Amino acid sequence: MDKKKSIKVLQDILKIKTENNNEKEVAIY
């Protein structure tokens, strides 16, 4: 249970990082 939860948190963090990167790339263009 805890492992699944931590995996989900990691996925959420990755998702947020990816979204932030996409926003930066859009700002550059």
Both tokens assigned to 3: 């492992």
* pLDDT value for 21: 84
* pLDDT value for 29: 62
* pLDDT value for 25: 75
pTM confidence score: 0.58
What backbone phi and psi angles, to 5 degrees, belong to 8?
-65, -40
Tell me the pLDDT tens digit for each residue of 1-29.
688 999 999 999 999 999 888 887 777 66
Residue 25's domain spans which residues? 1-29
Task: Name the domain count of the chain.
Answer: 1
Cα gap 13→20, rounded to integer Å: 11
Cα gap 17→6, rounded to integer Å: 16
* pLDDT value for 16: 92
